[in-house]
Amino acid sequence: MTTLKDLEITYDKPNWCPGCGDFGVWVSLKNAIVQLNLNPWEVVLVSGIGCSSKLPYWVKTYGFNGLHGRPMPAAEAIRLANHGLTVIVVAGDGDQYGEGLSHFIHAARRNINITVLVHNNQIYGLTTGQYSPATDMGEKNKATPVPTVEAPVNPISLALSAGATFIARGFAGDNKQETELLIEAIKHKGFSFVDTMQPCVTFNHKNTFAWFYERVYKVETKNHDPKDKTEAFEIAESWPLRRLLKEGEKEQIATGIIYQEERPTWEDGIPQISTMRLVKQSIENIDINSILDELI
Amino acid sequence: MMQEMKSAKSGPPSMVDFQWLIGGEAGYGIMTVGAIMGKVFTRLGLSVFDYTEYPSLIRGGHNAYYVRASDEEIFCQKQPVDILVALNRETIDRHKHELTPQALVVYDPNVTKVESTEFTTQTLILIPFLELTKQVGADRLMINTVAVGASIALLYNDFSVLEGILKDIFGRKGEKVIALNVDTSRAGFDYVVKNFAGKSQIAIQEKPQENLFIGGAESLALGAIRAGVKFAAIYPMTPINAVLTTLSAYALKYNIVVKEPEDEIAGVNMAIGASFAGVRSIAATSGGGFALMVEGLGLAAQTETPLVVIEGMRPGPATGMPTWTDQGDVRFVLHAAHGDFPRIVVAPGDCLEAFTYVMEAFNLAEKYQMLVIVLTDKYLNEGHTTLKISNLKSQISNYKIDRGKMLTDEEALKETDYKRYLFTEDGISPRSIPGQQNGIALNGSDEHDEKGLYNETSKMRTTMMDKRFKKLDAVAKILPPPVIYGDKDASLTIVGFGSTKLPVLEAIKWLKKEGISVNFLQVVYLNPFPADVVLQILTGAKKTLVIEGNKTGQFESVVREKTGFVFSNHFRKYDGRPFYPEEIVEKVRSLL
Ligand SMILES: Cc1ncc(C[n+]2csc(CCOP(=O)(O)OP(=O)(O)O)c2C)c(N)n1
Ligand code: SF4
């Protein structure tokens, strides 16, 4: 049985700002690994660069901390090389929706069996608070002289249209729900995506824990059927807004499993790995004489 | 265009040494029939080299395919053309200046009009290509196939070799397709036998066949397959497309996962991911894609993930001339980085070396947990040549896989306090892979300590940097020294790298027949640079000439930087074309 202790790093501990939403996501991810009883050495956390991407340093599984925006391609290849592994991408919103957006779309359409956990704080944390592709319209910070007029990306809509087969939104203020979502995401066969609203207490003074508590609701309480793609799109489009808020209006932010479907995975379509994991295949004495014969 | 260099000086005579050229509009299968001709000559036991020129267009541009064949060993194309097959008038306009006085000019008089005064010494071979295709019920696009049959008839009196090749090539497409191709080319063959017997002064004498016919990119791919490549992420780009397609052709047979990523950034990060997970992996691109990969190269270096990247040069900057050749990325591949990190750069000079050095690249990458860049170019990648089967087979059987300090599952299990970046004598740390119990580690792009934890102290940073570079010192000790071809006490030493080896060796062969002794120093490993040996050879040389395919003498400046040696002569070309042996001969003559 895998325990929380097995996942503990003894020589270091998280250095996020006190109160940062990343703590909740970290706890939930470890809980999910424990509850799924995954062997820590068969889990690989692949991250980019940002506060959130430091997470793999503090979980005792295999980790690959790559480049800003590029954890996805590395994770895809890790999974193809060894599909016995549980591969989880840990990225920030800048990471995944800025530099890494095209990789996100391509991985989703391929339906590779990995889980993508985005810590969405709607801001660049590590670079000290510039606006991100997920920043709400009308926000002003040190990277924009006037309130931003750029509409934010809508990660859930994007994932839906890109072909992701498991799409959820979590919230760092609800560890129980986040743990459950991560468990379902990891269990899902295919590309699973959990966009997690993660307040940055230091730089994002708008989208705070309190702000979210007043706005989040769970889709299952409204009888949403995750198989219903049309309804999923409606939910996805309800927030974030591509306009300024009207007088007296208040956002409603859906959390929970918004969409799920079954579709063959990328790995399913690769006969080269159907009987044996790539990494287990011997490369000693590969005989290429028959190719030489074709060249005569 | 090539006119300016076609003074049609032939190389020294040999029994059979001719160059055949077919030209026509893109879309008429010029590339297919060129390759077929090369195969025919190979089966007849000749030494063969081919060279293509084509624009970056699928339809309508002019394609030219040169095949040179000889009964003595040849290394490259030459300038004069002995047989010109013109599928359209443009071919004649573009290439008539390349013809020898005795050349044969083959064309369809119903398609191509030639003035009676145009060719005074050459022999015209008029063949109604189009008419012949109609007679056998073939599509007009198959005039190329008629041309092959006709060409063979001018050189050799038996159709069966060509027939055998057509059967092999079209075998998978079924009897009908085979029969149509055989009939069509036989129509050309028979037409020449009937109407132009004895017109050609070239007659191939069949020799025992000991060669196969292979392209540079194919050689790279086969080397990778032999070395156990299991994962390739390659975004298409000339001139490495055949690396992708060759790997893909054998992907199922050898269980290789070959993927076309969304871009080269994904490509390099995928190759790194697969390698981290424990399989041999490769990325390949040309200069533009390599530019996108640069940040990833540093990631491989920092995480000490083995990585093999092929860079096939073509003329830049930007899109430049996509389908032509160049050697202008020397400085780029040597330095592409932010920050300092060790790398190996190897530049094979011919197909056998492409095969061999790629295999070796995989061993070096894993043994030293390092980035290995295999630097090639369009001329090498897209040219085909005969290779002695026995040479290739001995390379294949001599190759031993060396995965370096990669932990086995059992070894990993014995670890009690595993350190991914353990300090060692040679700088190389034992490497675990995901899935191994007790080998758990984080491989990170941040500077780190031995365990892999981020660490920014002055001491750790310095020690880790030194550790990574120690590996390069270890590599330098085991790399083979550069190769010298030719007489030891030659009156001139030519220095170069990569595919210029081919025309240089050809030129040396010709010069030797004139009694001029020239040798060639080929630098294969550009990094770590074999400075001591190179300096010793250069200072002992009577005269030196450095030759390379770029404007600013990038290679020359590297040699100077590493050795302090100042060259008095250089020969550079940057028009997208390869060097011709004639040009090198002329240059050498001017210096002696
Ligand atoms: C190629 C590149 N560009 C820029 C950076 C600088 N950078 C580091 S983290 C970051 C953004 C972090 O924001 P996010 O991904 O949302 O993560 P967070 O820190 O908010 O968790 C940026 C721009 C980088 N490391 N690499
Ligand atoms: S800057 Fe923001 S995201 Fe980063 S650790 Fe601090 S609170 Fe968390």
Using the predicted structure, report yes or no on whether residue B3 has a pLDDT greater than 60. Answer: no
Question: What are the respective helix, strand and coil percentages of chain A, to the nearest 5?
Answer: 35, 15, 45
B447: nearest CA partner in chain A: A65
The pLDDT of residue B67: 98
Kindly state the tokens that stand for B336: 């592409």
CB distance A121 to ligand 2 below 6 Å: yes
Q: Considering every ligand atom shown, identify the ligand nearest to the alpha carbon of residue A16 and give its number.
A: 2
Query: Could you tell me the pLDDT band of residue B4, with boundaries at 50, 70 and 90?
Result: very low
Same domain for B175 and B288, yes or no, is: no
Is the residue at B308 inside a domain? yes
The pLDDT value recorded for residue B157 is 94
CATH number (domain holding residue A188): 3.40.50.970
pLDDT, mean of residues B95-118 = 96
Residues in B 495-554 with any Cβ partner in A closer than 8 A: none
For residue B246, give the chain A residue with the closest CA.
A291
For residue B339, CA distances in Å to B272, B303, B336 come to 19, 14, 9
Residues B415 and B527 both lie in one domain: no
Residues B61, B146 share a domain: yes
Instruction: Determine contact, residues B85/B106, Cβ cutoff 8 Å.
Output: yes
pLDDT digits (tens, 9 = 90+) for B377-403: 999 999 999 999 999 999 999 999 999
Give the distance (Å) from ligand 1 centre to CA of residue B462. Answer: 25
Mean pLDDT of B565-584: 98
Q: Which of residues 185-214 of B touch A (CB under 8 A)?
A: 209, 211-214
Q: State how far the Cα of B74 lies from the Cα of B69, in Å rounded to an integer.
A: 8
Q: Which of the listed residues B174, B207, B240 is the one where a domain comes to its end? A: B207
Q: Give the pLDDT of residue B60.
A: 78
Query: Looking at ligand 1, which atom is closest to the CA of residue A49?
Result: 9
So what's the pLDDT on residue B328? 98
Q: pLDDT class for B116, splitting at 50, 70, 90?
A: confident
Residue B190 pLDDT class (50, 70, 90 cuts): very high
- The whole-angstrom distance between A206's CA and the closest CA on chain B is 31
Tokens at A87, concatenated: 């591969």
User: Which residue among A11, A67, A85 places its CB closest to the CB of B435?
Assistant: A85
Q: Identify the domain boundary among B425, B451, B478.
A: B478
**Given B458, B478, B498, which residue is the final one in a domain?**
B478
DSSP state letter for B239: T
Same domain, B275 and B392: yes
Q: Does B428 touch chain A (CB under 8 A)?
A: no
Instruction: Indicate which atom in ligand 2 lies nearest the CA of residue A22.
Output: 8
> A77–B233: do the CB atoms touch at under 8 Å?
yes
Chain A contacts in chain B segment 57-116 (CB below 8 A): none
Cis before B530? omega within 30: no
Q: What pLDDT does residue B13 have? A: 46
Q: Whose CA is nearest to atom 23 of ligand 1?
A: A127
CA atoms within 13 A on the CB side of B467: 23
Confidence label for B248 from pLDDT (cuts 50, 70 and 90):
very high
CA distance A173 to B588: 77
pLDDT at B12: 43
Geometric angle at alpha carbon A39, from A33 and A41, rounded to 5°? 110
- The verdict on B273 and B144 lying in the same domain is no
Write the pLDDT tens digit of every residue in B132-168: 999 999 999 999 999 999 999 999 999 999 999 999 9
Regions in chain A scoring below 70 on pLDDT:
none
What is the mean predicted confidence (pLDDT) over B86-114? Answer: 97
Residue B6 lies in a domain: no
DSSP string, B146-194: HHHHHHHHHH-S-SHHHHHHHHHHHGGG-HHHHHHHHHHHHHHHHHHHH
pLDDT at res. B11: 45
Q: What is the DSSP string of B280-349?
A: -EEEEEEHHHHHHHHHHHHHHHHHT--EEEEEEE-S-STT--TTS---TTHHHHHH-SSS---EEEE---
Expressed in angstroms, the distance from the first to the final Cα of chain B is 29
pLDDT at residue B433 above 70? yes
**How big is chain A, counted in residues?**
296
Q: What is the pLDDT of residue B57?
A: 81
Task: In whole angstroms, give the CA distance from residue A78 to residue A58.
Answer: 20
Q: Are residues B418 and B379 in the same domain?
A: no
- Find tokens 């295919």 and name the residue: A190
**pLDDT at residue B56 in the model:** 83
What is the number of domains present in chain A? 1
If one counts the domains in chain B, the total is: 4
Q: Which residue in the block uniquely carries the two structure tokens 């290789």?
A: B256
Asked if residue B8 is part of any domain, the answer here is no
Minimum CA distance residue for ligand 2 atom 6: A17
Nearest to B278 among A11, A70, A82 (CB): A82
Cross-chain Cβ contact A64/B276 below 8 Å = yes
Q: Do B296 and A70 touch (CB under 8 A)?
A: yes
Query: Is residue B511 domain-shared with residue B560, that is, in the same domain?
Result: yes
Confidence band, pLDDT 50/70/90 cuts, at residue B439: very high
Instruction: Please report the ipTM that was assigned to this predicted complex.
Output: 0.98
Record: contact A74-B270, CB cut-off 8 A: yes
Residue B531 pLDDT grade (very low, low, confident, very high; cuts 50, 70, 90): very high
Residue B3 counted as domain residue: no
The verdict on the CB of residue A93 being under 6 Å from ligand 2 is no
Task: Work out the mean pLDDT of chain B and round it to a whole number.
Answer: 96
Residue B2 inside a domain? The answer is no
In the prediction, which pLDDT does B59 show?
Answer: 77
Q: Phi, psi (5° rounding) for residue B427?
A: 85, -10
In a domain, B403, yes or no: no
Per-residue pLDDT at A142 = 85
Range B42-56 average pLDDT: 95
Whether ligand 1 lies within 6 angstroms of the CB of A124 is answered as yes
Task: Identify from A9, A273, A283 which residue to disrupt to test chain B contact, counting B C-beta atoms within 10 A and taking the largest count.
Answer: A283
B6 pLDDT higher than 60: no
Decide: pTM greater than 0.90.
yes
Contact predicate B210/B390, CB 8 Å: yes
Residue B4 domain flag? no
Q: Which residues of A touch B435 (CB under 8 A)?
A: 41-42, 62, 82, 84-85, 279
Dist CA B275 CA A279 (whole Å): 10
| Nearest CB neighbour to A57, from listed B231, B233, B453 | B453
The dihedral sign for the CA sequence A52, A53, A58, A60: positive
Residue B572 buriedness (CB in 10 A; 0-12 / 13-18 / 19+)? middle
Lowest mean pLDDT among A248-257, B201-210, B524-533: B201-210
Rounded to whole angstroms, the Cα distance separating B52 from B67 reads 9
The domain containing residue A266 runs over which residues?
4-295
Would you state the structure tokens that stand for residue B201, as one six-digit string?
């002064």
Residue of A65, A67, A124 to mutate, ligand 1, most atoms within 8 A of C-beta: A124
> Is there a contact between B209 and B390 (Cβ–Cβ < 8 Å)?
no
Q: What's the pLDDT score for residue B326?
A: 98
User: Same structural domain for residues B39 and B183?
Assistant: yes
Q: Which residues pair with B254 in a beta bridge?
A: none
B381 with B414, same domain? no
Residues B315 and B265 in one domain: yes
What is the best residue among A16, A26, A118, A141 to mutate for testing ligand 2's pocket, by most ligand atoms within 8 Å of CB? A16
Domain range holding B51? 17-207
pLDDT cut 70: percent of chain B above it: 98
pLDDT over 90 (residue B294): yes
State whether B33 and B178 are in the same domain.
yes
Sole residue written with tokens 């050495």:
A41
B269/B141 same-domain check: no
Contact B445 A74 (CB under 8 A): no
- Asked if residue B107 belongs to a domain, the reply is yes
In chain B, which among 342-401 make CB contacts under 8 A with chain A? Answer: 389, 392-393, 396, 401
**Structure confidence at residue B5 (pLDDT):** 37
Closest CA–CA distance from residue A162 to any residue of chain B (Å): 14
